[in-house]
Structure 1
Amino acid sequence: MSRQRIRVGKYELGRLVGEGKFSKVKFARNMETGEGVAIKIMERDTLLKQKMVKQIKREISAMNLIKHPNIVRLHEVMASKKRIYIVLEFVMGGDLHDKITHDGRLREDEARKYFQQLITAVDYCHSRGVSHRDLKPENVLLDSYGNLKVSDFGLSALPQQVREDGLLHTQCGTPNYVAPEVINDKGYDGATADLWSCGVILFYLMAGYLPFDDQNLMRLYKKSCKADFKYPLWFSSSAKKLISRILDPNPKTRITAPEILQNEWFQKDYIPPKFQEDEDVSLNDIDVVFSDSEEQLVTEIKEIQPVFMNAFELISMLQVLNFGNMFEQHMGLVNQQTRFTSKHPAKEIITKIDEAAGTLGFNVKKRNFKVKLQGANIGRKGRLSVVIELFEVAPSLCMVEVHKAGGDTLEFSEFYEKLSSALKDIIWKSKVNIGEIA
């Protein structure tokens, strides 16, 4: 039996953890350090057909510019002939939307903690010239310690996208969180628009529902443009004052990030982030990732490995059979199944079995880590058929199970004696006990 292991560069790909319209995100492990990461995988052809190359380049460029403890970290970008791989920090605590859906609205002090982390992260982005433009609870992740991590910079804007008037003009974002000036199509400041979205998120965390919500988009936008919403009774007066200043439809009078950072409600129990900024990453390498240069491409290696047998499965197997002797005579019968262990690599074991069985005159059929043997001669009960399966019970220990699938049992016993003699250099234990494996 076997399982497939896929490696890309120094990373071994694991389970699927997320899926978007044009990408898949898989958990992976850095085989050099053992660190878990998330790898966003995109098909080159899809990106070209959907004209998304510029957007992906922009996302990578934006994440290269920002290294902050409350922003999902970009480790590196790789490319093969068919795919683009964005290697990211793995964040395993879900997102803010899931948390509110599952737990309901947050207490004011808990909402404040998340809002503090959100604002410091967003303000840092703005200091680097990056506007997120799609801030919403689904794009705000939580790590295993409950710390906030801003993610998904696919709609972000860089300084070079600002026009001569000093404004952005692309309408984008999620309707419930989009600032009124983005909808009005007269140009907008990305940083100021991001703060509006932060205000909507804060309201959502404390209320458990959105301030602006309507199935009809026109009615929804009208509510946003007029700041038409009501506060729940449990909001404190200081929280309402701050939110009102953030959800100001006029971007010119809307509160700024430095003003939020000095706000009395915001400052309560505030702990500034501590981080050591890395050196700036050169953005010149991004174009290379999308080029066809053979030197820059990685290879996706698919490697077949034996199935790993856990302790429960191993003990269950050992309890079924008595392994006092490999072929213990009992009431005139010979065992029809046995096994041995080896400390040699799985592929080497299979190769040795193949060579030995061929020398003994058996027809060999291999499929990954399962071998089927059939004798050339017709015996007392037809041709002897043997199935050999390899299991990995530890990183450096394999169990090889040998059992008779057809033919005479005594002939099977004679075959195994010859096989084990041929394999004497790789067999570690020919008598398997629970104590010896455990």
Structure 2
Amino acid sequence: MSATKVKRVVGKYELGRTIGEGTFAKVKFARNSQTGDPVAIKILDKEKVLRHKMAEQIRREVATMKRIKHPNVIRLFEVMGSKTKIYIVLEYVTGGELFDKIVHHGRMMEDEARKYFQQLINAVDYCHSRGVYHRDLKPENLLLDASGNLKVSDFGLSAISQQIEDDGLLHTTCGTPNYVAPEVLNDRGYDGATADLWSCGVILFVLLAGYLPFDDSNLMNLYKKISVAEFTCPPWMSFSAKKFITRILDPNPMTRLTIPEILEDEWFKVDYKPSVFDDKDDTSLDDVDAVFQDSEEHHVTERREQPTAMNAFDLIAMSKGLNLGNLFDTEQGQAYVANAQTFHVYHLKSGSNLNHPSFKVEY
């Protein structure tokens, strides 16, 4: 074989291709070598995290997600640390972002939008019951699995109940402007639950309309529109959907719909299926503590493995059913393989029967 690909292994995970990259992290596809299950691993550089004073925010995100075990929220399985890296092992989903679905296909029919909104409310209700407020809900942070089920992701701006101040409110202004509740913008404190529900209302509007309810190139004008809930529903939206959205996008958080009220709304209740899952809370944060306390005794093993190079005769020995008779010259009592390198790669690509249990080749 002319070249072999070096395998990168972290603990029990074999890392593969890069599937995402941001300012502070790279996300790679990986596989659990013990179970064969696919996962996504977010890899952060410790030096960069410390230089930008991001350690506490990342620790909060990790601890938050470990506490959340819901079918409509991305699972965080474990976190590992090495001398130079932090590895966050996440559920791998293949359906892309809900945002991409809107971009490529436009607005949704009400039945489809309602299904996604019901799953979103199930997830948000569960998070709030655990004292977790997302604070950056938007279609880009809603992923879809292979079955088309919604998965809430990216808890980087989340808050937990311990961050609530003496007045019972949160005070950090954060989120994405078009989706942020008016009370978050006025800088006088806000309730995390009602602020999340405003964002859910904006998301529902986008699903049904195909565009944002509040949008302006001038940020101050945008904030003015949000503060008084200045928006217009498109004519194709049903009356019951318009009424429902208007009650969620209420600029007064005191009269805005709550989750119990949403669950009783006639538009929402159509074909509604509450989430069914194991609600046992047995989460351990020992791995989180070890990583962020930088405990050397808990550092994960990082290694690179060079796959064993094989020649054509190795392949023959490992695959009894492979007939290579036409490649051998037997007249002179000698055996040789013509152009073994080309043959090797060709048969891998064409899917020949090389299914010996121990056969694995990378090229």
TM interval, short-chain normalised: 0.7 to 0.9
Please say which structure displays the higher CA radius of gyration.
1
Does 1:228 pair with 2:239?
A: no
**Secondary structure, aligned partner of 1:98:** helix
Contact 1:3 1:306 in 2 (8 A): no
Task: Report percent identity of matched pairs.
Answer: 63
How far is the alpha carbon of 1:146 from its aligned partner?
Answer: 0.5
Which residue identity lines up with residue 86 of structure 2 in the other structure? I
Paired position in structure 2 for 1:260:
262
Paired position in structure 1 for 2:112:
110
Q: Deviations over 1:27-75 (max 9, x none)?
A: 1111111111111110101110111111011111111221100000111
Paired position in structure 1 for 2:77:
75
Distance 1:396 1:284, change over 3 A: closer
Does 1:396 pair with 2:358?
A: yes
Q: Report the Cα distance in structure 1 between the residues aligned to 2:33 and 2:360, rounded to whole angstroms.
A: 21
Paired position in structure 1 for 2:351:
none
Q: Report the Cα distance in structure 2 between the residues aligned to 1:194 and 1:397, rounded to whole angstroms.
A: 51
Q: Report the Cα distance in structure 2 between the residues aligned to 1:117 and 1:39, rounded to whole angstroms.
A: 25
Q: Deviations over 1:127-153 (max 9, x none)?
A: 000000010000000000000000000
How far is the alpha carbon of 1:103 from its aligned partner?
Answer: 1.0
Paired position in structure 2 for 1:137:
139
The TM-score normalised by the length of structure 2 is: 0.87
Which residue identity lines up with residue 358 of structure 2 in the other structure? S
How far is the alpha carbon of 1:334 from its aligned partner?
Answer: 10
How far is the alpha carbon of 1:294 from its aligned partner?
Answer: 2.0
Paired position in structure 1 for 2:171:
169
Does 1:65 pair with 2:27?
A: no
Match of 1:283 among 282, 285, 301: 285
Paired position in structure 2 for 1:89:
91
Q: Deviations over 1:302-354 (max 9, x none)?
A: 11115799xxxx9xxx999942337x549xx99795769xxxxxxxxxxxxxx
The TM-score normalised by the length of structure 1 is: 0.73
Does 1:209 pair with 2:211?
A: yes
Provide the aligned length of Structure 1 versus Structure 2: 338
How far is the alpha carbon of 1:292 from its aligned partner?
Answer: 3.0
Distance 1:329 1:202, change over 3 A: same
Paired position in structure 2 for 1:183:
185
Q: Report the Cα distance in structure 1 between the residues aligned to 2:65 and 2:335, rounded to whole angstroms.
A: 66
Paired position in structure 1 for 2:319:
none
Paired position in structure 1 for 2:349:
none
Q: Report the Cα distance in structure 2 between the residues aligned to 1:338 and 1:239, rounded to whole angstroms.
A: 68
Contact 1:3 1:307 in 2 (8 A): no
Q: Deviations over 1:217-254 (max 9, x none)?
A: 11111111111111101111111111001101111111
RMSD of aligned C-alpha atoms?
2.6
Which residue identity lines up with residue 294 of structure 2 in the other structure? D
Q: Which runs of 5+ in 2 are unaligned?
A: 317-321, 342-353
Q: Report the Cα distance in structure 2 between the residues aligned to 1:217 and 1:223, rounded to whole angstroms.
A: 10
**Secondary structure, aligned partner of 2:230:** coil
Which residue identity lines up with residue 63 of structure 1 in the other structure? M
Q: Which has the higher strand share?
A: 1
Does 1:297 pair with 2:299?
A: yes
Match of 2:328 among 302, 318, 324: 324
**Secondary structure, aligned partner of 1:220:** helix
Q: Report the Cα distance in structure 2 between the residues aligned to 1:308 and 1:270, rounded to whole angstroms.
A: 56
Q: Report the Cα distance in structure 2 between the residues aligned to 1:321 and 1:94, rounded to whole angstroms.
A: 48
**Secondary structure, aligned partner of 1:260:** helix
Contact 1:9 1:299 in 2 (8 A): yes
Which residue identity lines up with residue 222 of structure 2 in the other structure? L
**Secondary structure, aligned partner of 1:46:** helix
